[in-house]
Structure 1
C-alpha cells in the first residue's frame, strides 16, 4: 500500500443500534477500508468508503482455491478515548498467514495507519456499554478471475467494523467442551498456525456434532497421533494445574493467539508460573479426575476468557470446579479487561489510544 488514503463520504449514515440487543457479527458500521493488489502497482487504491457489497467474478480464485485469510481484534471506549488492543500484533500475524498461503504481504505500518484513520471516522460507533466493544475484521482474499491452481495475481484487503456485546452473552458462565476423536483440525506442516478461512470450514462438522451432543465447543487433538491437546474451535486453551498455568505449546498446527500471548505475559507479570508443554489427553483426563487441574478456560479475541465447566473426554464427562469460574480465571479476566478498557495501568504498552 502507498501513503495516500482517499475517503469517500456516505450520502446517509445508519442509525446506531442498541448493542445489547444485537447478535455478534450481524451489524456493521457506515464505512470500511479497502485496498487492492496487482503485480504492477502492489498494494494501492486504498480508501475508506461506505460499507458496501463486494463485486466479484464467479471465477474469483478465493472461491475456488481458498486463498483467504483474516484477523480479529477490538476497539474499546474509555470516556472520550477509543482504545485499540495490540493491533500491531494482528497485522504481524496476518503477514505470517499471507506468507503461508503464498499471498502478498501487507505493509504493517501502513495497515495500522489505515485502521486508525478508519476508527477516527467511525469513533461514534464504538459502544460504551458494559462488556461492549467494536469488533474489527481485517481480511485479504484472492480475486483474480482464473480457474487455475496457482497463486492469484490480484487481491483485495478490506477492514470492516461491527459493534458487539460479549461473544457468549454472559461469557464468565462456564461453557462445555467436547474432545473430538475422529476429525482433526490441522497437522504440522499445514496451515493450522495461519488464520486461514478454510481452517474454520474444516471445523464446522465437528462443531455441529458437539452441539448435537450438548456441548458448546470442540477441543481439538493433534492431527498426527490424536493424543495431544491443541486448541478449541475459536480459542486457545489453558489449564490451572497444581496452581500453575499450563497451555499447549505452539507446534505449527496451533494458532498463535494474541490473547494467548498476552495472557501468558500478564500472568508472568502477576507472578504466576506459566508452562507451555505438550499435554497428552490421557494425562489431562487423569489430572481432571484427581483434582490436580482445578480450572480450565479458553482464551481468544472474541471471548477474551471463557471458563470451562464441563469437558467430555472419550465419552466421559469431567466437571471442572463445580461448573463455576475459578479464582485464577477471574483474576486474569479482570486484570486483562481492565487494561483493554483503560481502567487499569497498561505496563506493557499494548493499548493504542485515539
Structure 2
C-alpha cells in the first residue's frame, strides 16, 4: 500500500460556512465566548482582542466514508476526516464551517483509521480524483449519501445554539446565510484568484478559487469565513432597509412632519448601529497570501463601497428623524 499523501499533494480544497446572528440580547464577552466555544476539553479556545473581539473553537474532526459529489455523475468513494470549527465575532455573529483537502490520488483500498487521523481535515479518494467535476459537485450541493460539508457545519451550529448561555432573544431579525467554496490549483507562477462569486437563491453563496501550491485548507477556510461574515453583514443591513418607509411622510399637523413614522423607523434601524456597523473589517484575519483576493471583491461587486453607502443611509435616516424632535423641543423650551 502506498504511503499517505503529503500536504503538497492536495489538488482540491472545499468547504461550507454557516453565518448567523447569535441569539442573545447582549453580545457575549470574551469569557462567555470561551465557554460557548469550548467544544473540546483537550484544547483551548483561540481568543483575540485585536483588531476586534474574536473567538474560535478548536477543530473538531468527523470521520467520513462516502462518495464525493460530482458534476458529471462519477462515483468516487473517499475516506478521511472533515475539520469543523465555530467562531464568534464581537460576541455577536456566530459562524460554523467545515472543510477538507483532497489529494490527486489515493489508495485502491481503505487504510486503517489511524492513518487518516494523523492527517486531520484530509479526505482521500479511491484512485484518481476528478477534481474539476468534484469541485463543481461541491458547489452544486451534495445529494443523498454523498459527502455533505454543509450537513457537518449545520450539526456543529445546532450544537452551539443549544448552549445554556444563549437566552434566544436576538436584538434584531436576520436571516442565516450559507457559503460553499472550492479551491483548485492555480497555473504555475500565478497567484491566487477569485474565479467566481455567485449569490444564489435561499441565502446561498458559492465561491470558486484558484490558489498556488502550498496554501493550506485551513487558511482558505479562514478567507471564506471572512467573506461569509462580510457578505452576511451586507445582506442583513440591506434587508433591514428593505421595506422601511424611508424619509419623512406627511402627518397630521398636530404631530409634526414624519412624527407618525419616526418610532418605527428608529426602532428598525437603531439595532444596526448598536450591533452591526462596527463589525466591518475586511481581511483582518486572512493570511497574507490570500489577502489580495479581497482586492477583487472591492473592485467588483465593491463590497466596501456598498457597505459605506448602506451605513450612510442608516445614519442619514436616523439623523433625519431626530431633527424634527429637536426642533419641537426647542420650540417648547421657555
- TM (normalized to structure 2)? 0.28
Q: Which has the larger radius of gyration?
A: 2
Q: Which has the higher helix share?
A: 2
Q: Which has the higher strand share?
A: 1
